[in-house]
Protein backbone atom coordinates (compact mmCIF):
# COMPACT_ATOMS: atom_id res chain seq x y z
CA UNK A 1 0.00 0.00 0.00
CA UNK A 2 1.51 3.29 -1.02
CA UNK A 3 1.70 6.03 1.55
CA UNK A 4 1.19 8.99 -0.77
CA UNK A 5 -2.54 9.18 -0.07
CA UNK A 6 -3.23 11.61 2.74
CA UNK A 7 -4.93 9.80 5.60
CA UNK A 8 -7.61 11.93 7.20
CA UNK A 9 -7.49 9.80 10.34
CA UNK A 10 -4.33 11.72 11.35
CA UNK A 11 -6.34 14.96 11.26
CA UNK A 12 -9.35 13.49 13.09
CA UNK A 13 -7.02 11.77 15.54
CA UNK A 14 -5.26 15.04 16.39
CA UNK A 15 -8.62 16.76 16.91
CA UNK A 16 -9.62 13.91 19.20
CA UNK A 17 -6.38 14.16 21.15
CA UNK A 18 -6.77 17.94 21.49
CA UNK A 19 -10.35 17.62 22.75
CA UNK A 20 -9.37 14.84 25.15
CA UNK A 21 -6.88 17.16 26.76
CA UNK A 22 -9.64 19.72 27.37
CA UNK A 23 -12.53 17.69 28.78
CA UNK A 24 -13.66 14.33 30.04
CA UNK A 25 -14.36 11.36 27.74
CA UNK A 26 -18.13 11.79 27.75
CA UNK A 27 -17.92 15.42 26.75
CA UNK A 28 -15.38 14.63 24.07
CA UNK A 29 -17.76 12.13 22.50
CA UNK A 30 -20.60 14.65 22.73
CA UNK A 31 -18.55 17.47 21.18
CA UNK A 32 -17.34 15.24 18.39
CA UNK A 33 -20.89 14.12 17.61
CA UNK A 34 -22.01 17.75 17.43
CA UNK A 35 -19.08 18.63 15.18
CA UNK A 36 -19.73 15.71 12.85
CA UNK A 37 -23.45 16.54 12.77
CA UNK A 38 -22.71 20.15 11.87
CA UNK A 39 -20.29 19.06 9.20
CA UNK A 40 -22.91 16.77 7.66
CA UNK A 41 -25.56 19.49 7.83
CA UNK A 42 -23.24 21.86 6.01
CA UNK A 43 -22.31 19.26 3.43
CA UNK A 44 -25.96 18.33 2.95
CA UNK A 45 -27.00 21.91 2.29
CA UNK A 46 -24.09 22.66 0.00
CA UNK A 47 -24.45 19.43 -1.96
CA UNK A 48 -28.19 19.91 -2.28
CA UNK A 49 -27.80 23.41 -3.63
CA UNK A 50 -25.06 22.34 -5.98
CA UNK A 51 -26.92 19.30 -7.29
CA UNK A 52 -30.06 21.31 -8.07
CA UNK A 53 -27.94 23.81 -9.97
CA UNK A 54 -26.03 21.05 -11.74
CA UNK A 55 -29.23 19.31 -12.76
CA UNK A 56 -30.56 22.49 -14.29
CA UNK A 57 -27.40 23.22 -16.18
CA UNK A 58 -26.95 19.65 -17.38
CA UNK A 59 -30.50 19.38 -18.65
CA UNK A 60 -30.23 22.82 -20.25
CA UNK A 61 -27.11 21.81 -22.17
CA UNK A 62 -28.72 18.55 -23.28
CA UNK A 63 -31.78 20.45 -24.46
CA UNK A 64 -29.96 23.13 -26.42
CA UNK A 65 -30.79 25.76 -23.85
CA UNK A 66 -28.77 28.15 -21.71
CA UNK A 67 -30.10 27.23 -18.29
CA UNK A 68 -30.15 29.53 -15.28
CA UNK A 69 -27.95 32.52 -16.04
CA UNK A 70 -29.50 35.51 -14.35
CA UNK A 71 -28.79 35.26 -10.62
CA UNK A 72 -25.08 35.63 -10.18
CA UNK A 73 -22.43 34.74 -12.75
CA UNK A 74 -23.70 31.76 -14.80
CA UNK A 75 -26.67 31.66 -12.45
CA UNK A 76 -24.79 29.99 -9.61
CA UNK A 77 -26.84 31.76 -6.94
CA UNK A 78 -30.10 30.66 -8.58
CA UNK A 79 -30.72 27.78 -6.19
CA UNK A 80 -30.07 29.98 -3.17
CA UNK A 81 -32.65 32.41 -4.50
CA UNK A 82 -35.05 29.52 -4.97
CA UNK A 83 -34.38 28.32 -1.47
CA UNK A 84 -35.20 31.75 -0.07
CA UNK A 85 -38.39 31.76 -2.13
CA UNK A 86 -39.37 28.33 -0.79
CA UNK A 87 -38.62 29.39 2.78
CA UNK A 88 -40.88 32.40 2.46
CA UNK A 89 -43.78 30.55 0.88
CA UNK A 90 -46.88 29.75 2.86
CA UNK A 91 -47.25 26.23 4.21
CA UNK A 92 -50.75 25.46 3.04
CA UNK A 93 -52.73 23.25 5.44
CA UNK A 94 -54.84 20.70 3.59
CA UNK A 95 -58.41 20.20 4.69
CA UNK A 96 -59.20 16.67 5.91
CA UNK A 97 -55.57 15.70 5.74
CA UNK A 98 -53.96 13.86 8.61
CA UNK A 99 -51.96 16.73 10.12
CA UNK A 100 -49.49 14.64 12.11
CA UNK A 101 -48.53 12.33 9.28
CA UNK A 102 -48.73 15.13 6.74
CA UNK A 103 -46.15 17.14 8.66
CA UNK A 104 -44.07 14.12 9.59
CA UNK A 105 -43.54 12.74 6.09
CA UNK A 106 -40.99 15.28 4.79
CA UNK A 107 -38.88 14.74 7.89
CA UNK A 108 -38.88 10.97 7.51
CA UNK A 109 -37.72 11.31 3.93
CA UNK A 110 -34.98 13.77 4.75
CA UNK A 111 -33.78 11.90 7.86
CA UNK A 112 -33.39 8.70 5.83
CA UNK A 113 -31.15 10.43 3.37
CA UNK A 114 -29.18 11.93 6.28
CA UNK A 115 -28.60 8.55 7.91
CA UNK A 116 -27.05 7.06 4.82
CA UNK A 117 -24.48 9.83 4.56
CA UNK A 118 -22.89 8.73 7.83
CA UNK A 119 -21.52 5.45 6.56
CA UNK A 120 -20.00 6.60 3.28
CA UNK A 121 -16.21 6.83 3.05
CA UNK A 122 -15.47 10.26 1.55
CA UNK A 123 -11.71 9.97 1.63
CA UNK A 124 -9.06 7.88 3.23
CA UNK A 125 -9.90 7.92 6.91
CA UNK A 126 -12.80 10.32 6.43
CA UNK A 127 -15.85 8.31 7.42
CA UNK A 128 -18.19 9.01 10.32
CA UNK A 129 -18.98 5.41 11.20
CA UNK A 130 -17.23 2.44 9.64
CA UNK A 131 -19.86 -0.26 10.04
CA UNK A 132 -18.81 -3.80 9.39
CA UNK A 133 -22.09 -4.12 7.46
CA UNK A 134 -21.75 -0.77 5.70
CA UNK A 135 -23.30 -1.80 2.35
CA UNK A 136 -26.23 -3.36 4.13
CA UNK A 137 -26.72 -0.29 6.33
CA UNK A 138 -26.73 2.23 3.46
CA UNK A 139 -29.17 0.06 1.51
CA UNK A 140 -31.45 -0.30 4.49
CA UNK A 141 -31.71 3.36 5.48
CA UNK A 142 -31.94 4.69 1.94
CA UNK A 143 -34.86 2.41 1.21
CA UNK A 144 -36.64 3.58 4.37
CA UNK A 145 -37.59 6.77 2.57
CA UNK A 146 -40.42 4.87 0.88
CA UNK A 147 -42.16 5.00 4.25
CA UNK A 148 -42.09 8.77 4.14
CA UNK A 149 -43.37 8.78 0.56
CA UNK A 150 -46.23 6.42 1.42
CA UNK A 151 -47.16 8.52 4.45
CA UNK A 152 -47.06 11.69 2.36
CA UNK A 153 -49.32 10.19 -0.27
CA UNK A 154 -51.74 8.76 2.22
CA UNK A 155 -52.05 11.75 4.51
CA UNK A 156 -52.39 14.40 1.80
CA UNK A 157 -56.00 13.46 1.13
CA UNK A 158 -55.43 13.80 -2.58
CA UNK A 159 -56.09 11.13 -5.15
CA UNK A 160 -53.08 12.04 -7.21
CA UNK A 161 -50.86 11.78 -4.14
CA UNK A 162 -52.30 8.44 -3.19
CA UNK A 163 -51.77 6.92 -6.62
CA UNK A 164 -48.23 8.31 -6.67
CA UNK A 165 -47.43 6.88 -3.27
CA UNK A 166 -48.79 3.46 -4.14
CA UNK A 167 -46.77 3.40 -7.33
CA UNK A 168 -43.71 4.38 -5.38
CA UNK A 169 -44.29 1.60 -2.87
CA UNK A 170 -44.52 -1.09 -5.55
CA UNK A 171 -41.54 0.34 -7.36
CA UNK A 172 -39.11 0.67 -4.47
CA UNK A 173 -39.98 -2.66 -2.91
CA UNK A 174 -39.24 -4.51 -6.15
CA UNK A 175 -36.17 -2.55 -7.24
CA UNK A 176 -34.63 -2.94 -3.81
CA UNK A 177 -33.97 -6.57 -4.75
CA UNK A 178 -31.92 -5.76 -7.82
CA UNK A 179 -29.92 -3.07 -6.05
CA UNK A 180 -29.16 -5.51 -3.27
CA UNK A 181 -28.19 -8.35 -5.58
CA UNK A 182 -25.99 -6.18 -7.75
CA UNK A 183 -24.16 -4.85 -4.70
CA UNK A 184 -23.93 -8.37 -3.35
CA UNK A 185 -21.93 -9.30 -6.44
CA UNK A 186 -19.11 -7.05 -5.32
CA UNK A 187 -19.51 -8.13 -1.72
CA UNK A 188 -18.83 -11.66 -2.96
CA UNK A 189 -15.73 -10.44 -4.78
CA UNK A 190 -14.44 -8.37 -1.90
CA UNK A 191 -15.46 -10.78 0.81
CA UNK A 192 -16.59 -8.02 3.12
CA UNK A 193 -19.56 -5.76 3.65
CA UNK A 194 -17.49 -3.08 5.29
CA UNK A 195 -17.30 -0.09 2.94
CA UNK A 196 -13.74 0.76 3.93
CA UNK A 197 -12.78 -2.87 3.37
CA UNK A 198 -14.35 -2.84 -0.09
CA UNK A 199 -12.39 0.31 -0.95
CA UNK A 200 -9.14 -1.19 0.35
CA UNK A 201 -9.73 -4.32 -1.72
CA UNK A 202 -9.65 -2.16 -4.87
CA UNK A 203 -6.12 -0.92 -4.30
CA UNK A 204 -4.89 -2.97 -7.27
CA UNK A 205 -7.75 -2.07 -9.57
CA UNK A 206 -11.41 -1.19 -9.37
CA UNK A 207 -13.92 -4.00 -9.19
CA UNK A 208 -15.56 -2.98 -12.46
CA UNK A 209 -12.24 -3.82 -14.18
CA UNK A 210 -11.16 -6.67 -11.95
CA UNK A 211 -14.50 -8.44 -11.89
CA UNK A 212 -14.69 -9.31 -15.61
CA UNK A 213 -18.03 -9.02 -17.41
CA UNK A 214 -20.20 -10.03 -14.42
CA UNK A 215 -19.08 -6.92 -12.58
CA UNK A 216 -19.98 -4.74 -15.57
CA UNK A 217 -23.38 -6.40 -15.77
CA UNK A 218 -24.04 -5.84 -12.10
CA UNK A 219 -22.84 -2.24 -12.45
CA UNK A 220 -25.38 -1.62 -15.22
CA UNK A 221 -28.10 -3.32 -13.19
CA UNK A 222 -27.12 -1.23 -10.19
CA UNK A 223 -27.38 1.99 -12.23
CA UNK A 224 -30.81 1.10 -13.60
CA UNK A 225 -32.22 -0.20 -10.34
CA UNK A 226 -30.86 2.60 -8.20
CA UNK A 227 -32.27 5.18 -10.63
CA UNK A 228 -35.60 3.50 -10.07
CA UNK A 229 -35.11 3.36 -6.34
CA UNK A 230 -34.59 7.09 -6.02
CA UNK A 231 -37.69 7.82 -8.13
CA UNK A 232 -35.90 9.59 -10.93
CA UNK A 233 -36.72 9.59 -14.60
CA UNK A 234 -37.34 7.40 -16.52
CA UNK A 235 -38.69 5.74 -13.41
CA UNK A 236 -40.29 8.82 -11.84
CA UNK A 237 -43.71 7.24 -11.74
CA UNK A 238 -44.30 8.38 -8.19
CA UNK A 239 -44.35 11.99 -9.28
CA UNK A 240 -45.08 11.48 -13.00
CA UNK A 241 -45.50 15.13 -13.78
CA UNK A 242 -47.68 14.68 -16.85
CA UNK A 243 -49.91 12.05 -15.29
CA UNK A 244 -50.24 12.82 -11.59
CA UNK A 245 -49.30 16.53 -11.62
CA UNK A 246 -46.64 16.01 -8.93
CA UNK A 247 -47.50 12.64 -7.46
CA UNK A 248 -46.94 12.17 -3.76
CA UNK A 249 -45.89 15.76 -3.08
CA UNK A 250 -48.73 17.42 -4.98
CA UNK A 251 -50.18 18.99 -1.84
CA UNK A 252 -46.93 20.13 -0.24
CA UNK A 253 -45.78 23.70 -0.44
CA UNK A 254 -42.93 25.84 0.75
CA UNK A 255 -40.14 24.30 2.76
CA UNK A 256 -41.92 20.98 3.15
CA UNK A 257 -41.83 20.57 -0.59
CA UNK A 258 -38.21 21.67 -0.51
CA UNK A 259 -37.46 18.81 1.89
CA UNK A 260 -38.80 16.27 -0.59
CA UNK A 261 -36.96 17.98 -3.38
CA UNK A 262 -33.69 18.09 -1.47
CA UNK A 263 -34.05 14.50 -0.29
CA UNK A 264 -34.51 13.37 -3.90
CA UNK A 265 -31.23 14.98 -4.89
CA UNK A 266 -29.41 13.70 -1.83
CA UNK A 267 -30.69 10.19 -2.50
CA UNK A 268 -29.25 10.57 -5.95
CA UNK A 269 -25.93 11.56 -4.38
CA UNK A 270 -26.07 8.61 -2.00
CA UNK A 271 -26.68 5.97 -4.65
CA UNK A 272 -24.04 7.54 -6.86
CA UNK A 273 -21.58 7.57 -3.98
CA UNK A 274 -22.40 3.99 -3.11
CA UNK A 275 -21.97 2.94 -6.72
CA UNK A 276 -18.70 4.83 -6.93
CA UNK A 277 -17.47 3.24 -3.71
CA UNK A 278 -18.42 -0.31 -4.56
CA UNK A 279 -17.77 -0.48 -8.30
CA UNK A 280 -15.40 2.38 -9.07
CA UNK A 281 -13.13 2.22 -6.05
CA UNK A 282 -14.51 5.05 -3.93
CA UNK A 283 -11.65 7.32 -2.92
CA UNK A 284 -9.13 4.83 -4.25
CA UNK A 285 -7.13 6.38 -7.13
CA UNK A 286 -6.95 4.64 -10.47
CA UNK A 287 -4.51 1.82 -9.90
CA UNK A 288 -3.41 -0.80 -12.36
CA UNK A 289 -2.11 -4.03 -10.91
CA UNK A 290 1.60 -3.74 -10.18
CA UNK A 291 2.52 -0.62 -12.14
CA UNK A 292 4.06 1.04 -9.08
CA UNK A 293 5.17 4.20 -10.89
CA UNK A 294 1.79 4.83 -12.46
CA UNK A 295 0.02 4.11 -9.18
CA UNK A 296 2.25 6.54 -7.32
CA UNK A 297 1.51 9.32 -9.79
CA UNK A 298 -2.20 8.66 -9.42
CA UNK A 299 -1.84 8.87 -5.64
CA UNK A 300 -0.84 12.54 -5.88
CA UNK A 301 -4.46 13.41 -6.75
CA UNK A 302 -6.18 13.71 -3.35
CA UNK A 303 -8.57 10.94 -2.44
CA UNK A 304 -11.45 13.41 -1.87
CA UNK A 305 -11.15 14.52 -5.48
CA UNK A 306 -11.25 10.92 -6.67
CA UNK A 307 -14.35 10.18 -4.63
CA UNK A 308 -16.31 13.24 -5.67
CA UNK A 309 -15.34 13.09 -9.32
CA UNK A 310 -16.50 9.48 -9.56
CA UNK A 311 -19.70 10.32 -7.71
CA UNK A 312 -20.48 13.30 -9.91
CA UNK A 313 -19.77 11.26 -13.00
CA UNK A 314 -22.38 8.74 -11.91
CA UNK A 315 -24.78 11.56 -11.04
CA UNK A 316 -24.25 12.95 -14.51
CA UNK A 317 -25.06 9.55 -16.01
CA UNK A 318 -28.25 9.35 -13.96
CA UNK A 319 -29.19 12.84 -15.16
CA UNK A 320 -28.41 11.78 -18.71
CA UNK A 321 -30.93 8.95 -18.33
CA UNK A 322 -33.60 11.27 -17.03
CA UNK A 323 -33.26 13.83 -19.79
CA UNK A 324 -33.27 11.30 -22.59
CA UNK A 325 -35.86 8.64 -21.89
CA UNK A 326 -39.62 8.66 -21.72
CA UNK A 327 -41.25 7.40 -18.56
CA UNK A 328 -42.17 3.75 -18.18
CA UNK A 329 -45.67 2.55 -17.39
CA UNK A 330 -46.20 0.90 -14.03
CA UNK A 331 -46.65 -2.60 -15.45
CA UNK A 332 -43.63 -2.20 -17.72
CA UNK A 333 -41.64 -1.03 -14.73
CA UNK A 334 -42.46 -4.20 -12.86
CA UNK A 335 -41.89 -6.31 -15.99
CA UNK A 336 -38.43 -4.82 -16.35
CA UNK A 337 -37.62 -5.70 -12.76
CA UNK A 338 -39.11 -9.15 -12.43
CA UNK A 339 -38.50 -10.47 -15.94
CA UNK A 340 -35.18 -8.90 -16.79
CA UNK A 341 -33.18 -7.37 -13.96
CA UNK A 342 -33.88 -9.89 -11.23
CA UNK A 343 -33.23 -13.12 -13.19
CA UNK A 344 -30.13 -11.63 -14.77
CA UNK A 345 -28.72 -10.50 -11.46
CA UNK A 346 -29.51 -13.87 -9.87
CA UNK A 347 -27.64 -15.73 -12.62
CA UNK A 348 -24.93 -13.13 -12.42
CA UNK A 349 -24.37 -13.68 -8.72
CA UNK A 350 -24.18 -17.44 -9.17
CA UNK A 351 -21.63 -16.89 -11.92
CA UNK A 352 -19.62 -14.55 -9.71
CA UNK A 353 -19.65 -17.04 -6.87
CA UNK A 354 -18.27 -19.60 -9.30
CA UNK A 355 -15.55 -17.19 -10.45
CA UNK A 356 -14.57 -16.40 -6.89
CA UNK A 357 -14.57 -20.10 -6.00
CA UNK A 358 -12.23 -20.86 -8.85
CA UNK A 359 -10.15 -17.79 -8.07
CA UNK A 360 -10.38 -16.47 -11.64
CA UNK A 361 -10.67 -12.82 -10.70
CA UNK A 362 -7.65 -10.60 -10.27
Residues that bind another protein (CB under 8 A): 58-59, 61-66, 69, 96, 98, 157, 159-160, 162-163, 167, 233-234, 236-237, 240-245, 320-321, 323-332, 340
Q: In the complex with another protein, which residue's Cβ is closer, 239 or 299? A: 239
3-state secondary structure of 119: coil
CB 219 to another protein: min, Å: 14
Burial class (CB in 10 A: 0-12, 13-18, 19+), 121: buried
Which 3-state string (H, E, C) describes 197-254? HHHHCCCCCCHHHHCHHHHHHHHHHHHHHHHHHCCCCCCCCCCCHHHHCCHHHCCCCH
Q: Measured from the CB atom, is 222 or 307 closer to another protein?
A: 222
**3-class secondary-structure state, position 126:** strand
Least Å from the CB of residue 325 to another protein: 5
For another protein, give the closer residue by CB, 142 or 161.
161
CA-nearest of 322, 243, 329, 327 to 63 is: 322
Provide, rounded to whole angstroms, the least separation between the CB of residue 199 and another protein.
29
Decide: helix, strand or coil at residue 287: coil
Nearer to another protein, 113 or 161 (CB): 161
Choice between 158 and 202, CB closer to another protein: 158
Are 150 and 171 within 8 A, CB to CB?
no
What is the smallest separation between the CB atom of 65 and another protein, expressed in angstroms?
6
What's the rounded Cα separation, in Å, for the pair 29 and 18?
12
Please state the closest distance from residue 227 (CB atom) to another protein, in A: 12
Amino acid sequence: MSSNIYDFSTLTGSIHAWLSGLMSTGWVTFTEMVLVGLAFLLMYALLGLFLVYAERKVCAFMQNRVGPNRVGPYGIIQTIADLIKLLMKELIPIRKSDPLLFNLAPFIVIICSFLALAALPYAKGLQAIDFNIGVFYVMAVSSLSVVGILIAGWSSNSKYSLIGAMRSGAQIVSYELSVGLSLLAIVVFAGTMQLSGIVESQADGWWIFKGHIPAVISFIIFLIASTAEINRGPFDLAEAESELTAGFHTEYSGIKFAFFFLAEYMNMFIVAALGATVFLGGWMPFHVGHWEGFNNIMDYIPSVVWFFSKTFFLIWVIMWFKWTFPRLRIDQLLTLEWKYLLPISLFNIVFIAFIVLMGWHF
